[in-house]
Chain A
Amino acid sequence: MSVAAVTTGLGKPKSSEATPAADRRRIRTAFAFLAPSLVGVVLFLVIPVILVIILSLTQWNLLTPLKWVGFSNYANIFKYDAFGHSLLVTAYYVVLNIPIQTVVALGLALLLNNKLRGSAFVRIVAVLPFLATPVAMSVVWTWFFDPTNGIVNQLLGHIGIAGPAWLSDAATAMPIVAFANIWQYAGYNMLFFLAGLQAIPPSMYEAASLDGAGKLSQFRRITLPLLRPALLFVLVTGVIGSFQVFDTAFVLTNGGPGNATTVANLNIYNTAFQGFRIGEASAMSVILFLVILVVTVLQFTYFNRRTTYEMV
């Protein structure tokens, strides 16, 4: 390689690599660099996506021979496995989780976007939960919300309120699961809003206040529109993650009471790894994938339309 490079080294860089032997060696090296991640991506992402569609057309428990059943799983999971219910439960979780989490994150960002002493420390503290092992933190929340020994009901008891049995009450179980998630990711999402806020030139606010715009109108006309990319990112990633919620629901309630918190991912887990019905679980995975895809596309279209509308 060095010889080839030196002999033609005075020309353009492109031509210095043009000898066929050196070219071939460069390509070989490139593929050698790429090989591990390519194997990983193909083996653990591309093939599984194809495989899950194939498996969704079968009935199989991993032991007896695989049986083709066409699309019947897609009907059966709604009829016999309450998959429709678990999709609704998941949607309920997303609706509880995303708006509150986004508003809290935005509120934290607006509140902490200054140079006052202590703000930097609080920004850091708010991000700390992002690293918390969800399973371990869920155990802590189980204790906090324990009906008799939990601190929440003890505090409520001091002011004369008999708190509910949070996690075994169908009305409060899902809000607690959502709360666990909001607590963990509010500070994380705050960072995207902070980055967005810093990108807004202060001169825009100065010009606006010279024009007599009040704080509220500045927020609506400058801050919110310019935070739109951050907002889109927070919403899209939050929604994708929320549709797949598992750890917190598994530890906090394990789907209960009844199946009030049996989110889609928990239903897939039970179907595949407790019932060993691979075909049905695969069909559920495919449907959940489609739901996530559609919701993500809808968010992008909505944001794009809004953006063009505002700019006209």
Chain B
Amino acid sequence: MASVTTVAPTAATKSASKSGKTSVPGRGLRLTGYYLILLIIVIVFITPYLFSLFAAFKPLGDILGQSPARPPTSPTWANFRQIFTQDDFGRYLANTLLVTVILTIGQVTFSMMGAYAFAKMEFPGRDALFWMYLATLMVPNVVTLVPLYVMFAKAGLLNTYWAIFLPYTLGVPQAVFLMRQNFMTIPKEVMEAARLDGCSESRILWRIVVPISKPIIITATLLAFVFGWNNFLWPLIVTNSNSLNVLSVGTANLNSNFADQWNLVLAASLVALIPMVILFAIFQKYIVRSISLTGINR
């Protein structure tokens, strides 16, 4: 599909730009109105980030006493210093990175291998198994929450790193499906030629399929990473020790213990939010496209 950033003009905007050259009265006014609306939209989406950024660098007194729209007059790292030293946000950040990276690498690699098997290999029971994957795609997360917890409890895995990432690391049907649909479009002849040349299947996957499927793999990687980073309910229930907290759980705890210390809880929130903003800034085109891809494929 076409990328969203290059949008074909609709009839409406076409006629608008045509009439612009013949300077119809009122066009300037309409355009001003349009940009006013755009400005409001940008304010609505940016303000929560911007104001919490300002607040995180202010002492509590300034947060309470000043307009949130005012940048900090003398920016201070004190809030961050406090949550990193008196609370354990350095640890939470490291934990989050660790489990998210493991989850992402595992999920993408294993889903990719499964997707390749479904798309390009023949084996007995393939269609039945694929239907099973499709069926599990419909299972809402909330349904598996309690039984998964019971399973992890009985396996003695509660309060371990394993518990946090394992359910999402061996491959998930969403990612398998996403990549399988993409691999299906690779002509069969490519694989057959490689097989005739004596390529093993794993060599075909890593040397041929992966390089030509880079966009979809980046897509799956981004989706897995964002999921892992933002995940809250599952880490909340399978861990209850401070040393295993991820950022989302640590932030929620801090918020319920120090609800009125806006300087601290907002600084903590930013530790989780800012990396996602940076990720978005770097991969913005991929993310926009990947969202559209997941929509088309489902």
A residues apposed to B, CB below 8 Å? 1-2, 5-6, 9, 13, 16-17, 26-27, 29-31, 33-34, 36-41, 43-49, 51-52, 55, 62, 108, 111-116, 118-137, 139-144, 149, 151, 154, 183, 187-188, 191-192, 194-195, 197-200, 202, 205-206, 209, 215, 218, 230, 233, 237, 240, 243-244, 246-247, 250-251, 254, 264-265, 268-269, 272-273, 278, 281-282, 285-286, 288-289, 292-293, 296
Task: Provide the bound-state CA to CA distance between A123 and B45, in Å.
Answer: 11
B176 surroundings in chain A (CB, below 8 A) = 37
B residues apposed to A, CB below 8 Å? 1-2, 4-5, 7-14, 16-17, 31, 34-35, 37-38, 41-42, 44-46, 48-49, 51-52, 55, 63-64, 67-69, 106, 110-111, 113-114, 116-118, 121-124, 126, 129, 132-133, 136, 138-151, 153, 166-173, 176, 188, 192, 195-198, 200-202, 205, 226, 229-230, 232-233, 237, 247-249, 251-252, 255-256, 259, 262, 265-266, 268-270, 272-273, 276-277, 279-280, 284, 287-288, 291-292, 295-296, 298
| A6:B5 contact, CB within 8 angstroms | no
Task: Provide the bound-state CA to CA distance between A9 and B49, in Å.
Answer: 61
The 8 Å CB contact of B195, one of A5, A33, A264, is A5
Given that A37-B110, A37-B111, A45-B139 are known contacts, is A137 also in contact with B48, CB under 8 Å in the complex?
yes
| A140:B147 contact, CB within 8 angstroms | no
Task: Provide the bound-state CA to CA distance between A121 and B39, in Å.
Answer: 11
| A123:B5 contact, CB within 8 angstroms | yes
Chain A contact surface mostly = helix
| B37:A44 contact, CB within 8 angstroms | no
The 8 Å CB contact of A40, one of B64, B121, B171, is B171
Task: Provide the bound-state CA to CA distance between A52 and B144, in Å.
Answer: 7
The 8 Å CB contact of B4, one of A125, A194, A246, is A194
Chain A nearest CB: distance from B254 CB in Å? 8
The 8 Å CB contact of A38, one of B129, B144, B168, B268, is B129
Q: What residue of chain B has the Cβ atom nearest to residue A222's Cβ?
A: B11
B284 surroundings in chain A (CB, below 8 A) = 124, 127
Q: Can you sample 25 A-B contacts with CB below 8 Å?
A: A13-B192, A33-B201, A36-B106, A36-B171, A43-B170, A44-B144, A44-B168, A45-B173, A52-B143, A113-B7, A125-B46, A127-B287, A129-B45, A133-B229, A134-B232, A135-B248, A136-B248, A140-B52, A141-B48, A192-B291, A200-B10, A243-B140, A281-B146, A285-B142, A292-B140
